[in-house]
Chain A
Amino acid sequence: MKNPKKRFSRLYDKYVEKIYRFVLLKVESQEVAEDLTSQVFTKAWDKFRIPDNPNRNKIKNPTAYIYQIARAEIANHHRQKSKFQLISTELGQIVDSQPNLEEKQQIQAEIKDLRSSLTKLNDDYQNVIIWRYLDDFSYKKIAEIMEKPEGTIRVMVHRALKELKEKMSI
């Protein structure tokens, strides 16, 4: 049996940035995003490390698994807070390669506008856009996460982009 610490470590290193970004695009602050992301991986680690856990080796699709936990944590968070989704205007750290301050400010403004429009889409549309264009997942991988046929995902992505354009009024 593979070392659970190493397995978890690989999972963490591979997905922590993606999960953090996925969560931050849906919650009200960087602090909440950090908390929820931490909870996601804590739950994943709990599953990996308990020696007698019969489900330990049944995680066939780590990607689907980790995003499943993330979605549940976000949904749980919104349920506990308020029915109004307050999406933060702060974006936490933005690592960019633009040395020019004016360009940097412009990019940040564009990112905020885009993010605001993205959050107006329904949850599924937001997710497929994030997975397809931010995480670079294939349609097949997204289909596995959402447990839908690949063809359905392709249509969803197409419709999500269309709706996003409408929300951005362009």
Chain B
Amino acid sequence: MQNHQLIRKIKELRQIKPTEEWVFLTKERILKRRAHPETVSFSSVFSFLFQPIRKPIFAIAPLVVLAAVLGGFFVYNIVEQGSGNQETNIIASLERLEKNLSQITADLNGLKTAKDPNQALVMTEIVKATAKQGEEIVSLIKSTTKFKPNHVLASLNGVGEAYKELEEEVNNTQVEMIKDYIEYLKQTSLTDEDQKRLEKVEEYYNEGKYIDAMILIQKIEIN
């Protein structure tokens, strides 16, 4: 094989790319990061939970993150300690998770009527990720603890289901918010470029590509 043929093959590796969603969300998360977040070296399941949000416009994130952090801390203790303390710690974790769940649900309701729809959309992704983390914590508790009385297992399953339902509710809320925002933007004056973006956003929305719609809608500037 000649060099130029090999080089052509090498250039095929350019097709390896991250997803647009990951690129967008990672940037948002990094830019919202506080100076020196207090982190604890838990497993990567909990790593997302330690991202405090600087502008609590909706008075959501600090409480949610704090609750999730504490939930994670309890799980850590469960894993590390012997079975004698496990039931107590599982119950304590469940209480935290349930409290967290109530807080996230309340915050999600707040987002639906937020003044800045653009920011609210971004926040729904964070709420969704927090809900997913809640599910993962429940799974982790179930998989790492040996002793689980029936009533505790039933509670764990219940909380796990509740987080799944919450995640679905966030998805539905996002779809609704995107639709409302599109209608709102249609009433505002936009540049030609943004007008085209809006048409594309609507196209994505109609095709069910909500993440693509959400990413593109962030680029539209309201005059």
CB neighbours (8 Å) of A168 from chain B are 1, 6
Q: Taking chain B's interface residues, is the majority helix, strand, or loop, or is none over half, making it mixed?
A: helix
Residues of A contacting B: mostly: helix
Whether A41 lies near B30 (C-beta < 8 A) is yes
Instruction: Check if A161 is an interface residue, CB within 8 A of chain B.
Output: yes
From 11 to 29 in chain B, residues with beta carbon under 8 angstroms from any chain A beta carbon are: 11-19, 22-23, 26-27, 29
B115 interfacial contact with A, CB 8 Å: no
Find out whether the CB atom of B19 lies under 8 angstroms from the CB atom of A134.
no
Q: Which of A17, A42, A93, A115 contacts B30 (CB 8 A)?
A: A42
User: Once the chains are docked, how many angstroms separate the CA of A12 from the CA of B29?
Assistant: 13
Q: Contact at B16–A92, with CB atoms within 8 Å?
A: yes
Cross-chain contact A129 with B10 (CB below 8 angstroms): yes
Q: Is the CB of A34 within 8 A of B13?
A: no
1/0 per position for A62-96, CB-CB distance to B under 8 A?
00000000000000000000000000000111111
Smallest CB–CB gap between B106 and chain A, Å?
29
Min C-beta distance of A4 to chain B, whole Å: 10
Residues of the B chain whose Cβ atoms lie less than 8 Å from the Cβ of A118: 10, 13
Q: Is the CB of A42 within 8 A of B33?
A: yes
Q: Does B150 have its Cβ within 8 Å of any Cβ on chain A?
A: no
Given contacts A41-B30, A45-B30, A111-B15, contact A165 B10 (CB under 8 A): no
Residues in A with CB closer than 8 Å to B27 are: 9, 12, 16, 41
Q: Tell me if A20 is interfacial: C-beta within 8 Å of chain B.
A: yes
Complex: chain A residue closest to B9, CB-CB: A114
Instruction: Report the bound CA distance from A24 to B19 in whole Å.
Output: 13
Residue of B nearest to A129 (CB): B10
Closest Cβ of chain A: how far from B204's Cβ, in Å? 17
Tell me the nearest residue of chain A to B44, going by C-beta: A35
Measured between alpha carbons, how far is A67 from B7 in the docked complex, in Å? 22
A164 within 8 A of B: yes
List, in ascending order, chain B residues with CB within 8 A of A41's CB: 26-27, 30
B16 and A94 contacting across the interface, CB-CB below 8 Å: yes
- Residues from chain A with a CB closer than 8 A to the CB of B3 are 161
Q: Are A5 and B31 in contact (CB under 8 A)?
A: yes
| CA distance in complex: A107, B9 (Å) | 9
Q: Does B222 contact A (CB under 8 A)?
A: no
Is A17 a contact partner of B17 (Cβ separation < 8 A)? yes
Q: What is the 8 Å Cβ interface bit string for chain A, positions 12-48, against chain B (1 contact, 0 not)?
A: 1000110011001100000000110110011001000
A99-129 vs B, Cβ < 8 Å mask (1 yes, 0 no) = 0000000010011001100100000000001
A24–B22 contact, CB under 8 A?
A: no
> With A and B bound together, what is the CA distance between A9 and B16 in angstroms?
22
Do B18 and A133 have beta carbons less than 8 Å apart? no
Q: Complex Cα distance A9/B218, Å? A: 15
Smallest distance from the beta carbon of A141 to chain B beta carbons, Å?
A: 17
Alpha-carbon distance between A92 and B23 when the two chains are bound, in angstroms:
13
Chain A positions within 8 Å of B10 at CB level:
114, 118, 129, 133-134, 164
CB distance from B176 to the nearest CB of A (A): 28
A80 → B minimal CB distance (Å) = 12
- Considering the complex, give the chain A residue whose CB is closest to the CB of B14: A134
A122→B35 CA distance, assembly (Å): 37
Q: A93-B18, A164-B6 are in contact. Are A134 and B31 (CB under 8 A)?
A: no
Is A8 an interface residue when CB atoms closer than 8 A count as contact? yes
Contact A110 B9 (CB under 8 A): yes
Interface residue? A170 (CB, 8 A): yes
15 contacts between A and B (CB under 8 A): A16-B23, A16-B26, A34-B26, A35-B47, A37-B18, A37-B26, A42-B33, A94-B17, A95-B15, A111-B15, A114-B13, A129-B10, A133-B10, A134-B10, A168-B6
